[in-house]
């Protein structure tokens, strides 16, 4: 089948859907993607309180209708009709500290056909600070428990510093290949899924009001479910990855009905084969609404990337941390790379525009023609790209190999096209962006159905949007495939859009009045102030001590205890959705002197590694710094300073390293003068070949055989008795000195003797 074909398959579990294939989807005269979206943004004022909704003029619109509701309401309020020429709506029935969700719907006639479009926005005037976000169940592939210990500990501290209480479970990685259709593995597949689900459900049942989110990290068991092809290919009909299974706490998931052997076209990939009792579920539609938000960072089976799975996961955790702490910055704008057009009214790319306008305003959403060439030189917070696809590409957007070769400067992405929405596939295009080195943190297959991200413009995390999009049926206008089980988020589900640079160098000392004095350096951002919190441990939950924002970097607590303190900067954030109080990541400290020390590891190079001198040695350090007090990191070789790096990422390329044996280490220096040093790694810098030998006569057939290579290395010197011989004989060994020089004396040589060296 052509890879640009995309239509909808419907099973008996679904209402019939009629959708044209991509390769044969005529455009109606005069239709454009903009017909199907209202690019809605808001401006706000406090005196008197007022929210003004705005959108671009549509000359073909015949009327607009405005609706409003609360965040949690499941239906829209009364409709207010507006003229076809309207471009704004003023709501004066609002209050400071209030937040309201709006819908603007339009109908139009473009001279050849009628159309409808929608825009959604969650707007607020100084919307209140959200300090506690609930509990997140962190499921970690235990393959990486040890190798990523520092980075996972830092992730947990970052989550606590953003108001989450972490419930962590380390589990075995997926053992049963979903492409294995043998009945001998069915029970094992069902068991590994059930064991992970049981952990999540136990946490939820213990505290259903507060357990909100599931973060799957690594190759945790992947649920498959249904008999669907949301990309429309008959040979792709079957079970698709269905992480929403982990978010459904009440539905019944069965495995006794679907049998893809009865399909008109068998699945072309054995992963999609579904049979009764095989550990792949029957459900194509959600059996119940998802109660939990689910996101996954799974970088297994990406062979086109040169880094190992563990290295890719470490790289993701690093950029996740750097984004949260605002070490990574990008322009607040969105791009749309649309290679489908209106597509008989489905207008996939409308999902980009109608989400980006509430973030940045309509004027900061840009249509582009090439994803990678644009993002290699320009940064965007959000991007939408769509085109006919394969597992590893989207026409007009790019391919997995483009992600391997480039580092696109976009953080949150929506991508859409055939095949790659089935994300548990080798070198998968949807997951590939997460494997890039610096920016991309989240990706969603957005187009069937549309996703609803607009709440993030007022500070919600992306997992909120994922669950909302999975559960949406009629509340938000979408095209097709609502509540199908394939809807999934690739990336950290707790991420928010607007990081605030946190304060730094948190210090605590006992004072003479029986309390403790806290001090910190101010955020580099122009924030509204600071809040101080206290908890029994760094895991939280934290209780706020300050009733009002502090203007400077000082606070006194009259209680002396073993508590851990947290400080967060708070900004009054302005976006295309109004204003809200936005907290930074927290920084932490206690009276325990060991707590304030950073942890540092030399991630690269590995102990025992050998490098060619021509290639150089890449050094990378990982730092866990709860107090945000590290000012610089110093790399050492054999106790001598090599280089100093002042800001993350903590990396340095040692070019033209001399031949030799080295003990490499790295030290983190804090503003207070405290420091932490890593364990050392022994490495060898080699020339990649046997050393050149020099032969010097000492007289009377005594010859000195010498050379220069790696210090401390012992070489074997061999000889041939004469030029006609082929039998190399050992003469002896020589060890290179501190300069790499070695020498062996042959006291019984002859003029025609030949020499060579070997190692080991």
Pairing of strands 164-171, 134-141: parallel
The single residue listed with the structure tokens 């989807």 is 25
pLDDT of residue 5: 34
Give the chain's domains with CATH numbers: 504-590 (2.60.40.10), 599-686 (2.60.40.10), 693-758 (2.60.40)
pLDDT of residue 656: 87
Please enumerate in sequence order all residues whose Cβ is within 8 A of that of 9, keeping only pairs 6 or more positions apart, or say none. Answer: 228, 229, 230, 232, 233, 234, 236, 237
* Positions in the chain whose pLDDT score sits under 50: 1-24, 26
- Give the span between the Cα atoms of 496 and 463, in whole angstroms: 9
pLDDT of residue 10: 41
pLDDT of residue 135: 98
Instruction: Please give the backbone phi and psi of residue 356, each rounded to the nearest 5 degrees, phi first.
Output: -75, -35
CA angle 497, 580, 438 (to 5 degrees): 15
pLDDT of residue 701: 86
The single residue listed with the structure tokens 């004396």 is 745
- Give the span between the Cα atoms of 56 and 32, in whole angstroms: 15
pLDDT of residue 13: 39
pLDDT of residue 655: 92
**DSSP state, residue 91:** E
Tell me the whole-structure pTM to 2 decimals: 0.91
3-state SS string over 182-202?
Answer: CHHHHHHHHHHHHHHHHHHHH
State pLDDT tens for residues 378-398: 999 999 999 999 999 999 999
The closest of 285, 225, 230, 223 to 258, measured between CA atoms, is 225
3-state SS string over 341-406?
Answer: CCHHHCCCCHHHHHHHHHHHCHHHEEECCCHHHHHCCCCEEEEEEECCEECCEECCCEEHHHHHHC
C-alpha distances in Å from residue 599, one per residue of 331, 565, 671, 719 = 32, 18, 15, 52
Could you tell me the two tokens for 273?
């084969």
- Give the span between the Cα atoms of 87 and 203, in whole angstroms: 48
- Give the span between the Cα atoms of 115 and 632, in whole angstroms: 58
pLDDT of residue 724: 80
Classify burial at 196, counting beta carbons within 10 Å of its beta carbon; exposed 0-12, middle 13-18, buried 19 or more: buried
Strand partners, 337: 385
The single residue listed with the structure tokens 């050392």 is 680
């Amino acid at each position: 089948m052509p890879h640009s074909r995309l239509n909808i398959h419907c099973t008996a579990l679904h209402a019939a859907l009629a959708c044209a294939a991509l390769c044969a989807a005529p455009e109606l005269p005069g239709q454009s993607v903009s017909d199907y979206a209202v690019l809605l943004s808001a401006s706000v004022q406090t005196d008197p309180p007022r929210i003004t909704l705005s959108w671009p003029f549509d000359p073909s619109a015949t009327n607009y209708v405005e609706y409003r509701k609360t965040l949690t309401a499941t239906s829209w309020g009364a409709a207010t009709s507006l003229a076809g020429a309207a471009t704004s709506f003023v709501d004066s029935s609002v209050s400071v500290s209030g937040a309201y969700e709006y819908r603007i719907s339009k109908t139009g006639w473009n001279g050849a056909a009628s159309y409808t479009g929608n825009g959604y926005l969650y707007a607020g005037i100084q919307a209140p600070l959200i300090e506690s976000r609930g509990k997140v169940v962190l499921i970690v592939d235990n393959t990486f428990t040890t190798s990523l210990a520092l980075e996972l500990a830092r992730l947990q501290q970052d989550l606590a510093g953003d108001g989450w209480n972490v419930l962590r479970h380390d589990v075995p990685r997926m053992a049963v290949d979903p492409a294995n259709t043998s009945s001998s593995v069915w029970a094992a597949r069902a068991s590994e899924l059930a064991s992970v689900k049981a952990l999540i459900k136990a946490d939820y049942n213990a505290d259903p009001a507060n357990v909100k989110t599931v973060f799957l990290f690594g190759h945790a068991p992947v649920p498959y479910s249904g008999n669907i092809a949301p990309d429309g290919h008959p040979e792709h009909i079957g079970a698709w990855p269905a992480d929403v299974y982990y978010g459904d706490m009440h539905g019944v998931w069965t495995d006794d009905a679907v049998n893809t052997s009865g399909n008109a076209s068998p699945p072309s990939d054995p992963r999609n084969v579904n049979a009764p009792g095989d550990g792949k579920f029957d459900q194509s539609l959600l059996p119940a609404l998802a109660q939990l938000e689910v996101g996954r960072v799974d970088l297994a089976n990406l062979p086109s990337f040169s880094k190992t799975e563990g290295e890719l996961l470490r790289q993701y955790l690093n950029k996740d941390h750097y984004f949260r702490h605002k070490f990574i910055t990008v322009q607040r704008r969105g791009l749309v790379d649309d290679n489908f057009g209106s597509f008989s009214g489905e207008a996939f790319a409308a999902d980009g525009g109608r989400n980006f306008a509430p973030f940045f305003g309509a004027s900061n959403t840009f249509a582009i023609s090439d994803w990678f060439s644009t993002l290699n030189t320009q940064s965007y917070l959000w991007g939408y790209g769509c085109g006919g696809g394969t597992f590893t590409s989207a026409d007009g957007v790019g391919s997995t190999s483009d992600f391997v070769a480039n580092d696109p400067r976009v953080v949150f992405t929506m991508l859409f096209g055939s095949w790659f929405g089935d994300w548990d596939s080798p070198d998968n295009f949807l997951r590939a962006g997460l494997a890039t080195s610096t920016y991309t943190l989240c990706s969603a297959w957005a187009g069937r159905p549309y996703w609803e991200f607009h709440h993030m413009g007022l500070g919600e995390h992306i997992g909120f949007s994922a669950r909302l999009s999975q559960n949406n049926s009629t509340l938000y206008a979408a095209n097709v495939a609502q509540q199908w089980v394939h809807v999934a988020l690739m990336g950290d589900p707790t991420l928010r859009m607007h990081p605030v640079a946190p304060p730094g160098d948190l210090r605590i000392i006992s004072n003479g009045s029986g309390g403790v004095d806290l001090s910190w350096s101010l955020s580099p951002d122009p924030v509204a102030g600071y809040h101080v919190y206290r908890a029994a441990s760094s895991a939280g939950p934290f209780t706020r001590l300050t009733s009002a924002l502090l203007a400077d970097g000082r606070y006194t607590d009259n209680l002396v205890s073993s508590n851990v303190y947290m400080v967060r900067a708070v900004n009054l954030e302005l976006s295309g959705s109004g204003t809200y109080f936005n907290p930074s990541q927290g920084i932490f400290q206690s009276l325990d002197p060991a707590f304030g020390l950073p942890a540092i590891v030399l991630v690269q190079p590995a102990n025992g590694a050998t490098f060619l001198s021509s290639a150089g040695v890449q050094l990378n350090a990982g730092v866990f710094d709860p107090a945000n007090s590290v000012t610089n990191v110093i790399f050492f070789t054999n106790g001598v300073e090599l280089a100093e790096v002042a800001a993350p990422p903590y990396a340095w390329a040692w070019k033209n390293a001399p031949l030799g044996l080295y003990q490499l280490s790295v030290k983190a220096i804090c503003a207070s003068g405290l420091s932490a040093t890593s364990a050392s790694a022994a490495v060898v810098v080699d020339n990649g070949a046997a050393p050149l030998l020099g032969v010097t006569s000492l007289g009377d057939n005594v010859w000195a055989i010498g050379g220069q290579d790696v210090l401390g290395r012992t070489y074997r010197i061999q000889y041939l008795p004469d030029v006609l011989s082929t039998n190399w004989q050992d003469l002896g060994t020589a060890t290179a000195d501190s300069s790499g020089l070695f020498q062996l004396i042959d006291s019984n040589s002859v003029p025609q003797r030949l020499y060579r060296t070997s190692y080991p």
